[in-house]
Each structure stands twice: as structure tokens, then as C-alpha cells.
Chains A and B, each alone.
Chain A
Amino acid sequence: MKRRLMGSDYACQYRAVDSPIHRLPAGWKMFISTALSVWILVVREPQPLLLATASCLLYYFLARLTLSDLWRDTRFFLIQFCILLSLFLYRLGYPAGLWPGIRTSLQIILFFIPGIVFLRTTQVSSMMKGLRKIVPYRILFLLFTSLRFVPFFAREMQEISLAQKLRGARLSPRESFQPIFWRDVFSCIILPLLVRAMKTADEAALSAQARGMGSRADRTYYDVRVLEAQLATREKTRTRTDTTPNKKLTCQKLPIKRRCETNEK
């Protein structure tokens, strides 16, 4: 149950585990991600590309992400992999088109992996903290709240699609490629999804308003990791000056439940 609750069924969602990558500050992760992505774009030869691939995967698995996470995060890139490879083979023939096709499509997949690791390992509050100096809070809020609703709309789309298929809408993958059935895609899926999206956006906006969003000119930012570090420092200082441990402060440290229980004992 606990393991289940750490992640999400959907791609690019935050995974709540502890790992060296999770512990890195958001700025550092952004720097590493950018560096890795640029490196992947510039390599041309098989050996450096292999090295870049290994580095990307090492970075991914160091974040304690699993193979099934990797599958969720990259499965849709396989479509572009197949399309690009086919185009290269069609244009340059076999075997001349094989290596450029594999290289280009692999580079596209690998380019996104460091960014995916960033999303998987960074809490929204940490991302906001890093970005709020350069981007207005309202825009950040809009951006990151949209990310939160990606799984919700993915689920909605599945349900809508299923309901419409059962009513006779032509939405199978084969039918979706035929322009004659594109009306079904628009009217049976996109239209109800838009209606749901507008309703959900309305409810989310009310929820934000009800909790004081925009009620003050500024706001504070709570970062559980920073606070934990601050409390630990205060704790150290106090224990140096006072031999009696401050039970109340120790109790505030995380992981909350375990520490509190320890104190109670």
C-alpha cells in the first residue's frame, strides 16, 4: 500500500522516495538536466551516444525510479522512434538509413529523460522556489497546477473514450487514421473533454480562491526539507548550550510520525 502511494500510474509525476537525486537542490537538477540534454544533442558517433545513454539511465535509476516508471515515461516516444526510423529507411534505404534513424530517434528520447527525472524527483514547492525569482508566481501556479491535473485528464479521456466506444463511436486506433471518422474524435472525445476541463478549471479556481490565493500581495513558501535542516541546526545549537534535549523541537523533525513516536517512547 505504501509503495503504491509513492508514485502515480501516469508519466512524469512526482515519485515520493528518498534518493541522491531527490536530495539535490532543484537548481542543481536543472543544471544537470540541461547539461545532459545538450550532451545528448551534440553526440554523433555510436560510442559517445552509448556513453550518453548509459549516463542518462544511470541518472534515471539513481533517482530510484523503476523500469515500469521508465516504460510509462517513454512509451509514447516509441511511436516517434518507429516513424522516424521508417522515414530514414525510406529516404536513405537499408542499411544506410538504419544508423541515422536509430541515432536521431534515440537522441529525441534521451533528450527528454533528464527533464523527466527533474519532474519525477522535484516537489512542486521546490520547483516554484527555484523559479519564482524569474517567473511570476501566478504563472508558476498555473503551470504546476496543470501538471497536477495531467493524470486526472488522462483518466477522464480514457473514460470518455470508453463510454463513447460502447455507444458506437468509431474511435479504434485503425479508425482514428481515417479522416472520415475524425468527426467522432472531435465530437465524442474532445468536446466532452473540453466541457469537463472547463468545469474542473472553474472548481480548481474556486478552491484556490477559497484558500486565499491572491488575497495578499506576497506569499510565503513552505519547503519541508529546508525547514527540517533549519530545525536540525537550531537543535544542534540548543543542545550545545543546554544539556536537556528539547523534546518539542525534536518532535517537529521529519519523518514526522516515526520521530514523534520515538519521542513518546
Chain B
Amino acid sequence: MLTVTDLTYTYPGEHQPALTDISFSIADGTCACFSGHSGCGKTTLLRALKELLPEGILSGSIRYGELPLTREDVLTGFGLVFQNAESQLLCSTVFDEVAFGPENLCIPPDEIHQRIIAALSAVDLLEFGNRNVERFSAGQKQRLCIASVLSMQPRVILLDEPTSQLDGKGREDLLRVLHHLKKKGISILIAEHNIQPFTEIIDRYFLMSDGRITGSQDYPPDEYRRGQQNVASEAQPRKKRAATTTVVSAENLAVSYPGSKHVLCDSSCEIRDGELIHLHGENGCGKSTLLKTIAGAIQPDSGSMTVTGKKQPKAGELLGTVALLFQNPQRQLFEDTVRDEVAFTLKRLNLPEKVTNQRVECALSICEAFHLRDRLPLTLSFGEQHRVALASVIAPEPQLLLLDEPFAGLDPLQRLRLLKILAQLRQEKGTTIVIASHDPLPDPAWSDRIITMQNGRIVSPEAALV
């Protein structure tokens, strides 16, 4: 049994502890979930268990069984799977990746071989042993990360937001793997704000807030769900508009990348002025490609595309009219202040300074980021960076706003806050908004229409009218 008693940790140079008096115990072969909003200390807790925190002030005890943990116990007994599978994979092939941990522990090669077979079998990747990890899907990469930790034969597996990059199928596969591990007697600790996919395997829920455990129970926390529902009602758009003008018209679009088959094929859809659309589909079904094609960043191989009245537009021609927000805000932040960041496109449009300032203030206010206007964008939290990036794309008051997986990395409250901002944007500016996401929206009532994609095709352009 893993027992943590009064664990308190303060980061170097900070005064406020990131973890305060954390105490819990978990029996072998059980699964516990630590849930809470971004910044509540979930990741810090997992890293504290794995002794991966910088040298700050640490107190309290962590025991496995009767004795306190030694460094060796932590190294071999705890396996940590980080949130971002991509940066966690260090080797080019599956075998090398899974062998990496045991090699570092000086395990003899023939035993490593046995461990690789066992670990890859557990995550159902045995047949991919010699393959290049580069081509793997997000779900396969996540499972490979688990295998690379399993080969060290841990007694406890720590998973940091394991579903943040996964679609429905990826989650199902992951859940199957976790079921299997639990049956084998391995304890699982999950830090996750999206607890829904794991409810059938979780035995104990711990709710965290400001670095403390504020509650624990055997069923999904009500308080947490109630909090979501309250904000959900605010996020709903106030009125649905009767849309008439067509903003996007795509007919029989086909797009392919060099060396691959068609990513989009025979796709047709129409998006009308002022609509709120949820573009739904599994990872790799062509949602991002469709958004990039609409934004003019990709030219289709065949078919026709008209966006805001322009036929087959190119990226530069739609500046100020169509905006695309990518998943990771860090990809677009570079200026010295938030104000400059938001003003970037407006300056490129050569708008008068007065208009630029007005629009910057308006965009920051809508995105609830006005108070951050003089801050350095790269020093903000992920949620704040996300709002600044959104402000920077809506500042030119585009007619069409496209968002690619905008909920990744945001906690449920931040997700609902984003929907609320977008609904307000439509209300105030009449912006047409398309959200591409593999998940159902946090508030299903938000969208006017769901466009579903499957294997590069739009399968229901008009279905699910709300």
C-alpha cells in the first residue's frame, strides 16, 4: 500500500507552498484519481512522488508498505507517464524506447527482452516492435509511453492528464490497458480534470484545490460537476440567428499531402453567416486540414472553395477576414507585451493607431485578458496565453473564426469560459465560429450545428441541428 502523510512542498524562490499537507493511501491494484482545476497541484503531486521536483522545501513522508521509500524504490517502483507523449518518447523505434528504462537500470539484455515483450503485450503494441515511432497516432504514442514505463516493472503508475491528446478510440484503448494493469495488481494514480472516461476503473476520487486535498470519495465528485453546470448555463449563446448569407461553400474538396493518400476527399459543406459550428471527428479524420483549406493555407487538389465571397482564396487574401487559432498558443506568441501581441495583425493591416488601440482593448476585454495587457505573453499561464492568443486573432474582427482543438490543455471551467467568450463574440460582432474538436463540446447547447467528419469525408454536413 502506498501511504503519503502530510506532504508539503514549496518551489524554490516561492513563498506559497504548491502542495500543503497532502495525505492519502492507496491499496495495491486500485486506481485513484486526483482531480481539480489547472494549477491546483496535481502534476506537482505526481512529480513529488517520483522525486522529480526541483530542490525546494519538502516535508512529510511517502511510504510503500511499512518502510519509507528509498531512492531505488522510487526509481523502479513508480512509473510516471507525462502529459505530452510526443516529448516523452526519446528513441526512434518502439524496441529502443521500451528498452531505455531497463538499460539505464543495468538489467541484462535477455531480461530486457522478456520485459519488452510483456510491456508491449500489455499495451497491445507487440507487432510494432521495430517501427518508427514518428508515424504513430496520439493514442499509440500514449500507450507506448506506458509500455516504456511498464518495462521498469513499477508497482505504481502515475498518469498525468493521459487523455488530453486522445480522441474517443484512443481513450477506449487506454482504458482497456489500465483495466489490464489494475488486474495485475499495479496501483494507478491519475491526475486528470476530465474524469468521465475513467469512472469505471477509478476506486477513489481526490478533489484538489490550491495544493490541498479538499475531499475524497468513492464516486465522482458532485461539487465538481455542479460547478460545471453553473457555468455551462452562462456559456450558452443567448439567441440563435437566422443565417442567410453563405460564408464558406466547399464542393467536392480533395486534399492530399506529398507521399500520402487523400486527407480530404469529396467533401462538401456550407457554413452560413453567424453560425456556431462544431466540426467533430476522431483524430486524423481531416478536421485540421479542412480548417487550413478554408483559411487558404492549403490549396485543394480538386473541388471548389469559396470563402467570404473569394474563390479558391490564398492565405494572404483573407487577412483580417478569416482567423485561425491553433491548438497550442505558444506557437504564435512572441511580442514583448500582450498589447503588442494583440496589435500585430492590426498593424499589418495598416489600420490607424486609434482604431488599432480601440480594437486591441475591445478584443482583450472580450477575452477577459485586459488586466494582462502590459505583461510578457510567454510568462503567462497556459489558460491566460490561450486567451491572449484568441484576442490576437479576433482583434481584426474577422468574419469567420476557426479554432483547431481549442480545449486541449484547458480544465472544464476554462473550457466553458472559452465557449462563453465565443458566444459573446458572435453576439457582439456577428462572427461565424467553427470549432474543430474530437470531443463533444463541454456545453452541447452552444453549437447551432455539428458537422461530422470520418476518414477525410464530411459525413453529416447538416445533421444534428440543435
Cβ distance A193 to chain B, nearest Cβ, rounded Å: 9
Whether B103 is near chain A, meaning CB under 8 Å from some CB there, is yes
Whether B324 is near chain A, meaning CB under 8 Å from some CB there, is yes
Stretch from A50-58, A94-102, A105-113, A203-211 that touches the partner: A203-211
A167 and B331 in contact, given A124-B96, A210-B80, A221-B103 (Cβ under 8 angstroms): no
A4 and B393 in contact, given A124-B96, A162-B292, A224-B130 (Cβ under 8 angstroms): no
A211 and B82 in contact, given A222-B112, A224-B130 (Cβ under 8 angstroms): no
Q: Are B134 and A68 in contact (CB under 8 A)?
A: no
Q: Are A168 and B344 in contact (CB under 8 A)?
A: yes
A162 and B297 in contact, given A204-B87, A207-B87 (Cβ under 8 angstroms): yes
Q: Are A218 and B134 in contact (CB under 8 A)?
A: no
Q: Are B112 and A220 in contact (CB under 8 A)?
A: yes
Q: Are A212 and B132 in contact (CB under 8 A)?
A: no
Stretch from B121-129, B231-239, B433-441 that touches the partner: B121-129
Which listed residue (A6, A145, A163, A187) contacts B132, Cβ 8 A?
A6
Number of interface residues of A (CB under 8 A): 71
Whether B333 is near chain A, meaning CB under 8 Å from some CB there, is yes
Cβ distance A101 to chain B, nearest Cβ, rounded Å: 28
Residues of A within 8 A of B347 (CB): 168
Mark out the residues of chain B between 157 and 211 whose CB falls within 8 Å of any chain A CB in the assembled complex. Answer: none
Whether A32 is near chain B, meaning CB under 8 Å from some CB there, is no
Whether A104 is near chain B, meaning CB under 8 Å from some CB there, is no
Residues of B within 8 A of A163 (CB): 324, 326, 331-332
A212 and B292 in contact, given A204-B87, A224-B130 (Cβ under 8 angstroms): no
Residues of A within 8 A of B260 (CB): 4, 9
Q: Are B135 and A5 in contact (CB under 8 A)?
A: yes
A14 and B393 in contact, given A167-B348, A212-B152, A220-B112 (Cβ under 8 angstroms): no
User: In whole angstroms, what is the CA distance A145 to B112 when docked?
Assistant: 21
Interface string of A1-38 (1 = CB under 8 A from B): 00011111110011110000000000000000000000
Whether A227 is near chain B, meaning CB under 8 Å from some CB there, is yes
Mark out the residues of chain A between 200 and 232 whose CB falls within 8 Å of any chain B CB in the assembled complex. Answer: 200, 203-204, 206-216, 218-224, 226-227, 230-231
Q: Are A211 and B378 in contact (CB under 8 A)?
A: no
Residues of B within 8 A of A204 (CB): 87-88, 90
User: In whole angstroms, what is the CA distance A221 to B105 when docked?
Assistant: 11
Q: Are A203 and B82 in contact (CB under 8 A)?
A: yes
Residues of B within 8 A of A164 (CB): 332
Mark out the residues of chain B between 55 and 82 whose CB falls within 8 Å of any chain A CB in the assembled complex. Answer: 75-76, 79-80, 82
Q: Are A16 and B113 in contact (CB under 8 A)?
A: no
Which listed residue (A207, A215, A255) contacts B105, Cβ 8 A?
A215
A195 and B323 in contact, given A16-B132, A152-B86, A220-B109 (Cβ under 8 angstroms): no
Cβ distance A118 to chain B, nearest Cβ, rounded Å: 14
Which listed residue (B90, B129, B152, B345) contacts A148, Cβ 8 A?
B90
Cβ distance A146 to chain B, nearest Cβ, rounded Å: 10
Q: Which of A144, A148, A222 has the most chain B CB atoms inside 10 A of its CB?
A: A222
Residues of A within 8 A of B87 (CB): 152, 199-200, 203-204, 207
User: In whole angstroms, what is the CA distance A208 to B114 when docked?
Assistant: 21
Cβ distance B299 to chain A, nearest Cβ, rounded Å: 13
A166 and B152 in contact, given A145-B90, A212-B104 (Cβ under 8 angstroms): no
Mark out the residues of chain B between 76 and 124 whose CB falls within 8 Å of any chain A CB in the assembled complex. Answer: 76, 79-80, 82, 84, 86-93, 95-96, 99-110, 112-114, 116-117
Q: Which residue of A lies closest to B76 (CB)?
A: A212
Q: Are B106 and A192 in contact (CB under 8 A)?
A: no
User: In whole angstroms, what is the CA distance A199 to B331 when docked?
Assistant: 12
Q: Which of A72, A224, A257 has the most chain B CB atoms inside 10 A of its CB?
A: A224
Whether B373 is near chain A, meaning CB under 8 Å from some CB there, is no
Q: Are B132 and A252 in contact (CB under 8 A)?
A: no
Q: Which residue of B lies closest to A194 (CB)?
A: B334
Residues of A within 8 A of B117 (CB): 252, 256
A192 and B330 in contact, given A6-B131, A207-B87 (Cβ under 8 angstroms): yes
User: In whole angstroms, what is the CA distance A221 to B259 when docked?
Assistant: 35
Residues of B within 8 A of A199 (CB): 87, 330
User: In whole angstroms, what is the CA distance A195 to B93 when docked?
Assistant: 27
User: In whole angstroms, what is the CA distance A182 to B116 when docked?
Assistant: 49
Q: Which residue of B lies closest to A7 (CB)?
A: B132
Whether B24 is near chain A, meaning CB under 8 Å from some CB there, is no
User: In whole angstroms, what is the CA distance A148 to B132 when docked?
Assistant: 10
Q: Are A8 and B127 in contact (CB under 8 A)?
A: no
Q: Are A156 and B319 in contact (CB under 8 A)?
A: no
Residues of B within 8 A of A252 (CB): 113-114, 117
Q: Are A168 and B345 in contact (CB under 8 A)?
A: yes
Q: Are A222 and B103 in contact (CB under 8 A)?
A: yes
User: In whole angstroms, what is the CA distance A160 to B132 when docked?
Assistant: 24
Q: Are B152 and A167 in contact (CB under 8 A)?
A: no
Cβ distance A219 to chain B, nearest Cβ, rounded Å: 5
Q: Are A14 and B110 in contact (CB under 8 A)?
A: no
Cβ distance B91 to chain A, nearest Cβ, rounded Å: 6
Q: Which residue of A lies closest to B80 (CB)?
A: A210
Whether B315 is near chain A, meaning CB under 8 Å from some CB there, is yes
User: In whole angstroms, what is the CA distance A257 to B129 when docked?
Assistant: 10
Cβ distance A235 to chain B, nearest Cβ, rounded Å: 13
Whether A147 is near chain B, meaning CB under 8 Å from some CB there, is yes
Interface string of A172-187 (1 = CB under 8 A from B): 1000000000000001
Q: Are A7 and B93 in contact (CB under 8 A)?
A: no
Q: Are A206 and B82 in contact (CB under 8 A)?
A: yes
Whether A44 is near chain B, meaning CB under 8 Å from some CB there, is no
Residues of A within 8 A of B348 (CB): 167-169
Cβ distance A195 to chain B, nearest Cβ, rounded Å: 6
Residues of B within 8 A of A210 (CB): 50, 52, 79-80, 82, 149
Q: Are B90 and A10 in contact (CB under 8 A)?
A: no
Interface string of B358-384 (1 = CB under 8 A from A): 000000000000000000001000000
* Contacts beyond the supplied A15-B132, A68-B259: 17 A-B pairs with Cβ under 8 Å: A5-B136, A68-B258, A125-B99, A148-B89, A152-B86, A166-B324, A167-B332, A191-B334, A192-B330, A203-B87, A206-B52, A212-B105, A222-B99, A227-B113, A252-B114, A256-B126, A257-B127
List 20 A–B pairs whose Cβ atoms lie within 8 Å, in order of A's numbering.
A5-B131, A7-B132, A8-B135, A9-B134, A10-B134, A13-B92, A68-B258, A68-B259, A123-B95, A125-B95, A167-B348, A168-B319, A168-B345, A192-B331, A192-B334, A195-B330, A222-B95, A227-B113, A231-B110, A256-B117
Q: In the A-B complex, list the 5 residue pairs whose CB atoms are closest, starting with the nearest.
A: A168-B348, A212-B104, A203-B87, A211-B101, A222-B99
